[in-house]
Amino acid sequence: MERWVGRVALVTGASSGIGKAIAQSLVCHGMKVVGCARNVEAVEELSEKLKAEKGSLIPIVCDVSKEEQVLSMFEKIKSEFGGTDVCINNAGLSQAAPLLSGKTEQWKNMLDVNVLGLCMCTREAVKSMRERGVDDGHVIQINSGVGHKQYASNPDGHFYSATKFAVTALVDGLRNELSLSKTHIRVTSISPGLTETNFAHRMYVHDPQVAVKKYSAFESLKPVDIADGVIYALSAPKHVQVHEVKINPTEQP
């Protein structure tokens, strides 16, 4: 991680769970991390906690589904830190919204954050890298195991799964466009299995027992397990592009 010390990483959704663990790990490795979320107070709290570490965490409030907020976040990063060298698109959510009974508004919300938010941040981050001649930049998309395989036993997650299948396609598309543009910017998809965070609690906000049951069926991953996957991809030598990292709890079928 030596070559990333002092360089700028954006982590979206740094207020909770996986994004919080990634932001913390990158700060400990000496990066200047811009952590965005709607609940910016939680990122500010983490930033305080990490004050004595090698790097720093700069909180920014941003709803990644709102283009004007995304553009103004990138403007702020440009004017204050020069630009982004690493972009980690982690912000995401699932709502319990089966294909036969879900509300259109729930589907739109998942598409706006998991797909369009990720695309807007990716476009702006790569633009920032290219206008500064940063040829070793890295885009990491926090995908999901269900971005590769649908689980018929969970209709609540079918639409969410489709948004993550879109991420899988977008990762390959982005790698193709970067290669056509003759850059060496790398793209990695990280696909976690069940990880204990606020994710299921938010998905089942009206029925908290469902989330409790999910996380107690077997030993889930911890957010730091996914942060370790990010460090693995970022630490690879420049000629090595880690395409996909799938991480599952040992007991998850």
Ligand X SMILES: NC(=O)c1ccc[n+]([C@@H]2O[C@H](COP(=O)([O-])OP(=O)(O)OC[C@H]3O[C@@H](n4cnc5c(N)ncnc54)[C@H](OP(=O)(O)O)[C@@H]3O)[C@@H](O)[C@H]2O)c1
Our answer to whether residue 160 is catalytic in this structure is: yes
Quote the DSSP letter at residue 37: E
Smallest distance, ligand X to C-beta of residue 213, A? 14
Amino acid found at 157: G
Of these residues, 151, 160, 215, 232, which one is catalytic?
Answer: 160
Q: Give the nearer residue to ligand X in terms of CB position, either 92 or 137.
A: 92
| DSSP H stretches of helix in 67-180 | 67-81, 104-110, 118-131, 158-180
Q: Residue 229: CB partners within 8 Å, gap ≥ 6? A: 190, 192, 245, 247
Query: What's the rounded Cα separation, in Å, for the pair 252 and 221?
Result: 10
- At its nearest, how many Å lie between ligand X and the CB of residue 180? 27
CB of 122 to ligand X, least distance (A): 14
* Closer Cβ to ligand X, 13 or 134, answer by number: 13
Least separation in angstroms between residue 205's CB and ligand X is 11
| Beta carbon nearer to ligand X, 73 or 129 | 73
CA 215 to chain centre: 21
Binding site for ligand X (CB under 6 A): 12-13, 15-19, 37-39, 62-65, 90-93, 113, 142, 144, 192, 194-195, 197-199, 202
Kindly tell me which of 14 and 185 has the beta carbon lying closer to ligand X. 14
Burial class (CB in 10 A: 0-12, 13-18, 19+), 24: buried
Collapse the DSSP code of 194 into the 3-class scheme (helix H, G, I; strand E, B; otherwise coil) and give the result.
coil
| Catalytic residue list | 160
